[in-house]
């Protein structure tokens, strides 16, 4: 294991967060704060409790998951796309680092930035609503697992994309709708039976449900199923990344 190579890629990507702190940190934090103001304070004060939890506190896991998914994908996809765009990817591929070490550097940095942002948003939420974390260790574990999984997914998107506009297609057109329809602002038990069944085909439901269990001990689906679904998606992403490096898909051409 070439730890110096992994460290070099990791530090380079983390330094980019400092250079773009307005876009990387302040923008998503402000956006999430607006959700807390509108849904947590303005609308939440007129909503009843859900599963015995104040509405403003109930939506925290969903909003945190929204930022986590978007930032994990964005950080990882942009991180690997820029070397492709500038042509420096060939220097990385010819360097004495393995494919595993390249992935560890890029995905590790993207996941770290997403986790840091998630913790900042979690702390900021305290300014708007009062909440508790029933299982803090599980919450952190789920936070890291989700960040790593979707950073891998973003890494795949960054390799697939051949233009800046394609970097935004999947996060904006697919991930964001799935998060909003995945129980961020409601429990799927509040839906008619047919829509509850349809919602179970939304993979984000399992992420938000498991994350909400870590906070309050309540969930729409069993927490074991949530973890299993996340691990399955992680395995799919790892397999896809292995295939990309094995075939050189959009890396050597």
Contact 100, 141 (CB under 8 A): no
> pLDDT for 113-151, tens place per residue?
999 999 999 999 888 888 889 999 999 999 999 999 999
> pLDDT for 195-221, tens place per residue?
999 999 999 999 999 999 999 999 899
pTM of the model: 0.91
Query: Among candidates 249, 26, 27, 241, which has minimal Cα distance to 150?
Result: 241
> pLDDT for 55-74, tens place per residue?
888 999 999 999 999 999 99
Query: Among candidates 71, 142, 75, 143, which has minimal Cα distance to 109?
Result: 75
Residue 252 pLDDT exceeds 70: no
């Amino acid at each position: 294991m070439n730890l110096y190579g992994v460290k070099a890629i990791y530090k380079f990507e983390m330094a980019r967060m400092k250079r773009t702190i307005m876009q990387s940190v302040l923008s998503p934090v402000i956006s999430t704060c607006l959700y807390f103001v509108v849904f947590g304070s303005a609308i939440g004060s007129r909503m009843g409790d859900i599963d015995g939890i104040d509405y403003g506190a109930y939506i925290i896991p969903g909003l945190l998951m929204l930022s986590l998914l978007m930032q994990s994908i964005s950080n990882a996809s942009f991180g690997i796309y820029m070397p492709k765009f500038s042509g420096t990817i060939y220097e990385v591929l010819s360097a004495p680092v393995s494919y595993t070490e390249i992935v560890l550097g890029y995905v590790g940095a993207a996941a770290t930035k997403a986790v840091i942002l998630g913790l900042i948003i979690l702390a900021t939420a305290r300014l708007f609503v009062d909440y508790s974390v029933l299982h803090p260790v599980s919450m952190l574990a789920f936070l890291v697992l989700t960040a790593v999984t979707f950073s891998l997914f973003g890494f795949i998107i960054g390799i697939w994309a051949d233009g800046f506009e394609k970097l935004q297609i999947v996060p904006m057109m697919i991930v964001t709708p799935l998060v909003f329809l995945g129980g961020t602002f409601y429990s799927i038990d509040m839906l008619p039976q047919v829509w509850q069944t349809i919602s179970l085909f939304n993979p984000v439901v399992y992420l938000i449900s498991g994350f909400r269990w870590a906070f309050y001990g309540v969930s729409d689906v069993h927490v074991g199923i949530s973890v299993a679904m996340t691990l399955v998606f992680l395995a799919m992403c790892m397999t896809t990344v292995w295939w990309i490096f094995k075939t050189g898909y959009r890396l050597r051409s």
